[in-house]
A and B are shown apart, each in its own frame.
Chain A
Amino acid sequence: MHIQSQRSALAGLALAGLAAAGALAPTAAAAEEPKRGGVLKFYHRDSPASASIHEESTYSTNAPFMAIFNNLVMYKQDEPQNTLDSIVPDLATNWAWSDDKTRLTFKLREGVKWHDGKPFTAKDVKCTWDMLQGKAKDSFRKNPREAWYGNVKEVAVKGDFEVAFQLSRPQPALLALLASGYTPVYPCHVSTRDMRVKPVGTGPFKFVEFKANESIKLVRNPDYWKKGRPYLDGVEFTIIPNRSTRVLGFIAGRFDITFPIDITVPVLKDVQAQVPNAICKLVPMNVSTNLIVNREVAPFDNADIRRAMALAIDRKAFVDILSEGKNDVGGAMLPPPEGVWGMPPEYLRTVAGYSPDVGKSRAEARAIMEKLGYGPDKRLKVKVSTRNIDIYRDPAVILIDQLKTIYIDGELEVIETSNWHAKVSRKDYSVGLNLTGSAVDDPDQNFYENYACSSERNFTQYCNKELETLFDKQSMETDQKKRKEMVWEIDKKLQEDVARPIIFHGRQATCWHPYVKGYTAMVNSSYNGYRFEDVWLDK
C-alpha cells in the first residue's frame, strides 16, 4: 500500500510556473493574525433549486452550502489551482491505494459530530455513496453525478472509522472527484427531502435558513472538529437576481464580496473604477462555450458539413469581442497555465480548425460546402438554438455571423432558459450554442460526462468506442506525465471529430473588499472553493 503524502515535483513545477505568471500570487493575509467574528456578506445571483448539493449541478448551490459539509478529502482551500496533489484530508485522516490501484481505503476522523449532535461514522460514508449509486432505499430526487461512480463496485465499511472504495479498474483520479465541492458526505439519519430544505452537515458552518428568492444564512459551528476554525460568526447570501442591483450593492459596500465569478469583463472595469481598492481576480470558470450539432438530423448527419462548420470558427474574434481578449482558446480541457490538462498552445496549433490562419480554414470549409452542393446562390438555412441568457445569446450571434462565410444562413432561435436542457436532451435542435461547465479539472469528469456514448450529458450523441477505450486508459494511468500526453491526444481527436467544437473558455471575476482576508478564488474550477473556514474579516 502506498500512503499519499508528498506532492509530486511535477505539480510543484506547474505551481511555480503559475505563481510566476501571477495567477497564484500569495495573499498578504498569510502573514497576518486572523481576527475572529463578523458575518461575511455575499450577494447571490439566483435562488438555488434546493440546498442539496448532491442533487444539483450548479455552483449556485455549492457556493452557499459547501461550508455546511465536509468531504472525505478536499482541494486545499488556499491553493487556487486544483490538482491531484492539492488534495488534503478532510473527514478522512489519510488514504491508501492497494497495490493494484483498485481499492482506495480511508481512515476516518473520530469524534466528529453532525450538526444535530449525532456521531459521524463510516456508515454515513457508505450511505452517501449507496445513494449516489442508486443502491439506497431513500434515493435522491435527481442524481446528476451517478456516472462519476460508475467504476465504484462497492463501498465497504470496516468498523466505525474505516471505509474502502472497491473499484472495477484502477482510477487514480477518483480522488479528484471525491475532493470536489460536489462530493460532501451526507448523514444517514437525515432524509433526502430534509437535506433539500434544511441540510445537516459536519462542516464549519451550520444551516440557519434558506428563504427562496431572499436569502441563505449560515452560522458558525462552535463544535467544529477543526479547532480554532472557522473565524467568521456566519456567512450570509442575499439573493439578488438583477445584476445591476447586486453590483451596485457591492459598490455601495452593502456586501463584502461578490458572488463568485459573477463579474463579467465589461462590468469589471466599472467595479474597479468605482471601488479602486477592491481586490478582483479574473479567473477561468472552467466553462467552455461550444458548438453543438445534432448529428442525427440531415444535413448535419454528414460529417463533412460538421467539419466545415468547425473550420469556419474564428475563435480569436469571439474572445476579442466578448471579453476584450481575456477569454482563452482551448480544447475540451481547460487550457494552461490555469488548466492542468489542457493542450499547450504549440500543441493546440496542430489541431485542425485551430490554425491562426482563419482565412485558409474558411476557404477549406467553403470548398467542402461547395462539394456538398452549397454556394453563394444555394445557401443552407438553419436555426441556431441557444438559451435565453446573454452569455449564450451573444456568442450565438457571432457564430451566426461567422457561419455566413461558408454559405450557412443561421437564424437565432432563443429558448427560454428553463427549457434549454430538456430541449437539447430530447435532441430537438439542429445547431446550437451551449455552455459546458466542469466541476473538476480532470479528464475523468469531462470525458465521461460529455463524450461517453451512454452519457446523459452527451448532447451531440458523439460516440467513438475506440476513443472510449482511450478514456479508460488515461483514467488508469498512474504516471501523470504520460496521462497528460494521452489526454492531449484524446482532446485533439475530439476536436478533429467535431464532437462538440470548443469555441472558448470563459473568464469572469470575483471581487471583494480589502478587509476580507483568507479568501482564495480557484482558477480551474468554480465548484470547489467555498468552505470559508479560513476566511476572516479585518474590520
Chain B
Amino acid sequence: MGAYLVRRSFLMILTLFGISVIIFVLLRLVPGNIVDILFDAAGMVNPREKLKIERELGLDRPLPVQYLTWISGLAQGDFGYSYVSEKPALEEIGPRIPVTAKLAVLALVVSVLLGVPLGVVSAVRQNTPTDYVLRVLSLSGLSIPAFWLGLLILMACVAWFGAIPIYTEPPASLWDELLLLSVPAAAVGFRSSALIMRLTRSSMLEVLRQDYIRTARAKGAAPRSVNYEHAFANAILPVVTVIGIEAAFLIGGLIVTETVFNIPGVARYLVESIRWRDYPIVQNLVMLIAVVVVVVNFAVDLLYVVLDPRIKYSG
C-alpha cells in the first residue's frame, strides 16, 4: 500500500505538470491577449500603448520564460496579479472558492440524496408505474440543460412568489447562504442525480440477478434485507466511481448555474477571466481545479478499499 501511495503521488505531480503545460499553451493559442481586450473596451488599438502594456505585463517575453516565471512563482505560493483588477490573484480567487465549494457540496448532496435512493427504488420496483415515473424523471434530468432549468426556476419564482433567488449581496448568515444556494444546487444536482439514479438502477438490477441474491431469498431473508444489505452494498461501487467523476464535472455545470443565479463563485469567474485572457487567474484557477479533481479521484480509489475489502493495492 505504501509503495502504491508513493507511485500515485508521483503520478499526481506528473499529471499536474502536464496540465500546467497544456493550460499555459492553450491559453496562448487562443487569439488575442489581455491587451487586445483592454483596447477592445477602448474601441481602438494604439500600437505604441499596446506594446507598452505588453512590456509592463511581461507578455513580450519568450513563452518558456513566461512559463517558468509562473510555475516558479506558484511553487513559492506567489499567484501573481490579475491583469484586469490589478489586485493579487489570490485576493481575487480566495473569497470565491468557499462560495463555489458550498454550492458544489450542496449540489453533490442533492444529487446523491436524490439519485441513489430513487435508483434503488426504481430497480427494486422494476417495470412498475413507480419505475416508469422515475425513469422519465431521470431522462428529463439528463436532457434539460442546467441553464434552462435555472431560468425556468427563476421565472417560476418571479411569477408565483414575486421574488427572485439570485445573489445580489452577501447573505447575512450561513443559514441564509445555504438557503440561497439551495435553489441553484437543486438545479445542478437534478442533472447529476439523473445520471446517478440511472447508474444505481442498472447496477442494482445486475446485482439483483446474481445467484447469491436468489440464495438469500430462498433462505427466506426479508426483502428489505436482501435489497438493502446484500444487493445495495455490492451495487454501490460503480456508483461511487461516478459520484467521484461527477464531483469533478460539477464545475462545468456550475459555470452556467453561477451565471444564471448570479453567484460570485470561481466557476463564473473562470469564464470571465478566460474572456479577458487574464492569464494569472485562469492558469492558477485551472491548476486549483486540477488539484481538486486529481485528489478526489485519488480519494475515490482509496474509498474502494473501504467499500470492498477484496480490493488490495500494491506497488
Contacts and interface: CB of A to CB of B under 8 A. Distances in A.
Interface of A: 47-50, 55-58, 60-61, 141-144, 193, 196-197, 211-215, 238, 240-242, 244-246, 248-249, 251-254, 274, 416-422, 425-426, 437, 456-457
B86 A244 contact: no
Given A196-B86, A245-B154, A416-B32, A425 B44 contact: yes
Interface string B60-102: 0000000000000000000000101111000010000000000
A494 B276 CA distance: 35
Contacts of A456: 44-46
B39 interface: yes
Given A197-B85, A213-B272, A238-B169, A419 B32 contact: yes
A142 B49 contact: yes
A143 B264 CA distance: 31
Contacts of A244: 151, 154, 260
Nearest to A250: B164
Q: Which 3 residue pairs of A and B lie closest in terms of their CB atoms, listed nearest first?
A: A252-B164, A425-B45, A144-B42
Contacts of B260: 242, 244-245
Contacts of B49: 141-143
Nearest to A144: B42
Interface stretch (B17-25, B155-163, B238-246): B155-163
Contacts of A422: 32, 36, 39-40, 45
A249 B164 contact: yes
A141 B85 contact: no
Interface residues of B, number: 44
Given A47-B272, A238-B168, A419-B31, A248 B40 contact: no
B35 to A, nearest CB: 9
B169 A215 contact: yes
B164 A254 contact: yes
Contact of B163 (A60, A242, A252): A252
7 contacts: A142-B53, A144-B44, A241-B259, A254-B168, A416-B32, A418-B40, A419-B37
A418 B32 contact: yes
Contacts of B37: 49, 418-419
**From A238, A245, A416, residue with most partner B Cβ within 10 Å:** A245
A245 B162 CA distance: 14
B262 A245 contact: yes
Contacts of A251: 158, 164
A254 B264 CA distance: 17
Given A244-B151, A249-B164, A197 B44 contact: no
B39 A142 contact: yes
B27 interface: no
B166 interface: yes
Contact of B276 (A56, A240, A418, A426): A418
A167 B43 CA distance: 26
A57 B151 CA distance: 32
Contacts of B169: 215, 238
Nearest to B83: A49
A47 B37 CA distance: 13
B309 to A, nearest CB: 48
A75 B9 CA distance: 65
Nearest to A435: B43
A197 B82 CA distance: 12
Nearest to B52: A141
Interface string B159-198: 0001110101100000000000000000000000000000
A49 B82 CA distance: 12
B198 to A, nearest CB: 30
B38 A213 contact: no
B264 A57 contact: no
Contacts of B42: 55-57, 142, 144, 421
A418 B36 contact: yes
B31 A144 contact: no
Contacts of B36: 418-419, 421-422
A141 B154 CA distance: 41
Contacts of B151: 244-245
A57 B154 contact: no
A457 B262 contact: no
Nearest to B155: A248
Nearest to B85: A212
A214 B32 CA distance: 25
Contacts of B163: 252
Given A49-B84, A241-B259, A253 B162 contact: yes
B269 interface: yes
A246 B45 CA distance: 31
Contacts of B52: 141
A255 B87 CA distance: 29
Contact of B84 (A193, A212, A241, A249): A212
Interface string B243-266: 000000000000000011110100
Contacts of A238: 168-169, 262
Contacts of A56: 41-42
A254 B32 contact: no
B86 A197 contact: yes
A48 B41 CA distance: 8
Given A244-B151, A418-B276, A214 B264 contact: yes
B44 to A, nearest CB: 4
Contacts of A416: 31-32
A36 B158 CA distance: 30
B261 to A, nearest CB: 7
B268 interface: yes
A502 B216 CA distance: 81
B277 interface: yes
Nearest to B95: A211
**From B31, B32, B43, B260, residue with most partner A Cβ within 10 Å:** B43
B46 A419 contact: no
Contacts of B125: none
A235 to B, nearest CB: 14
B168 A248 contact: no
Contacts of B41: 48-49, 56-58, 60-61
B275 interface: yes
Contacts of B84: 49-50, 212
A495 to B, nearest CB: 22
B32 A211 contact: no
Nearest to A437: B43
Contacts of B155: 248
A110 B262 CA distance: 44
B285 to A, nearest CB: 13
A149 to B, nearest CB: 15
Contacts of A457: 43-44
Nearest to A61: B41
Interface in B266-303: 268-269, 272, 275-277
A250 to B, nearest CB: 9
Nearest to A238: B168
